[in-house]
Amino acid sequence: MTMKEQSTLKPVSNAADVYPSRVYPEPKLISRTDPVVYNHSIEQPVINEDQLAFYEENGYLFLEEFFDESQVQLWKEELARLWEQNKHEKKPEVIREPGGDEIRSIFAVHRDDEVFKQMAQHPSMQAIIKQILGSDVYVHQSRINFKQGFTGKEFYWHSDFETWHVEDGMPRMRALSCSIALEDNHANNGPLMVVPGSHQIFVSCVGQTPENNYKSSLRKQEYGVPDQESLKYLVRQGGIVAPVGKAGSVLLFDCNLMHGSNSNISPDPRSNVFIVYNSVHNKLGEPCSGQKPRPDFIASREA
């Protein structure tokens, strides 16, 4: 497969949907039919064959201290600047904590901020992503998550792909997230937890999607929430891992990996930057929900 190969995927139609969700009265577990790694011949110097195999099997890869301190420092300064600038800003890109007024996330930082635009284009990251997705890529979504000390709330378990598929019309599983830690993560400040191997199963969720769901779901998700029995099944199979390490560490994870995090009452904030890359062969179609697409700052259609 070459980087220039054109997409053969059609826009998602409900009839032929291989990953239906929010349509059945009961949850279903559906086996993944898409590859996890799209190019197995190593074509970059950043990750090796073992790391690629680990990613394929587990659905994630943790790269400890991937970026050095001085780089992280620059990003943290920019983050502090953005936090100040957006403290009282009322714009859709700025999401606040449920039941509070503190900033939880700022979206589209790869589009609106020069520093994070460069981060998203970082050659080492691009090289890994293109290796895994086997094609050119574009940024589907980016955001900074501020998980404040003392008050940071949990993110419940979810597969990103479920939402991107249903609400954004992402056709297939050919996307991944990079979470770049801007603070040290440790077991007690609510680190991201993943269920290894869960990327191989699609959990078809129950419940329809209300119009403009994103306005509340970015604060607290209520639709596209996997059921407890399915989660128990996945955790029995794969356990739970919370990769933690110093600021500058990078966690790569497949778009269908089940993940979440507990609250953070420790004094230590846990801020990170999420950048989601999608293959150029996997551009968005019509949302499976039949509703109008979510805004561009959540799901880019300008690829």
Q: Does 263 bind a second copy (CB under 8 A)?
A: yes
Between residues 138 and 233, which has the closer beta carbon with respect to a second copy?
Answer: 233
Contact between 145 and a second copy by CB under 8 A: the answer reads: no
- Judged by CB under 8 A, which stretch of 22-30, 65-73, 263-271, 279-287 contacts a second copy? 263-271
Q: Determine the interface stretch with a second copy among 103-111, 136-144, 255-263, 278-286 (rule: CB under 8 A).
A: 255-263
- Does residue number 261 form part of the binding site for a second copy (CB under 8 A)? yes
Binding segment for a second copy among 10-18, 110-118, 151-159, 173-181 (CB under 8 A)?
Answer: 151-159
Applying CB under 8 A, does 17 fall inside the site for a second copy?
no
- Residue 12 burial class via C-beta count within 10 angstroms: exposed 0-12, middle 13-18, buried 19 and up: buried
Of 83 and 156, nearer to a second copy (C-beta) is 156
Q: Which stretch binds a second copy (CB under 8 A): 108-116, 166-174, 183-191, 199-207?
A: 183-191
* 260 contacts a second copy (rule: CB under 8 A): yes
150, 212, 292, 296: residue in contact with a second copy (rule CB under 8 A): 150
Measured distance CA(42)–CA(215) in Å, rounded: 41
Span near a second copy by CB under 8 A; candidates 9-17, 101-109, 259-267, 288-296: 259-267
CB 269 within 8 A of CB 147: yes
Contact between 29 and a second copy by CB under 8 A: the answer reads no
| Residue closer to a second copy, measured from CB, 215 or 232 | 232
Q: Given the complex with a second copy, which of 75 and 253 has the nearer CB atom?
A: 253
* Binding track over 215-244 against a second copy, x by CB under 8 A: -------------x--xx--x----x-x--
DSSP sequence for the chain = --TTPPP-PPPP-STT-SS--S-SSS-EEEE--S-S-S--S--SSSS-HHHHHHHHHHSEEEETT-S-HHHHHHHHHHHHHHHHHHTT---TTEEE-TTS-SEEEEE-HHHH-HHHHHHHT-HHHHHHHHHHHTS-EEEEEEEEEEE-TTTBPPEEEE-HHHHHHHHH---SS-EEEEEEESS---TTS--EEE-TTGGGEEEEPPSPPPTTTHHHHTTS--SSPPPHHHHHHHHHHH--B----STT-EEEEETT--EEE--B-SS--EEEEEEEEEEGGG---S-TTSSPPPPTTTS----
Q: Which of 118, 265, 290, 296 touches a second copy (CB under 8 A)?
A: 265
Which residues contact a second copy by CB under 8 A? 149-150, 153-154, 156-157, 187-188, 190, 193, 228, 231-232, 235, 240, 242, 260-267
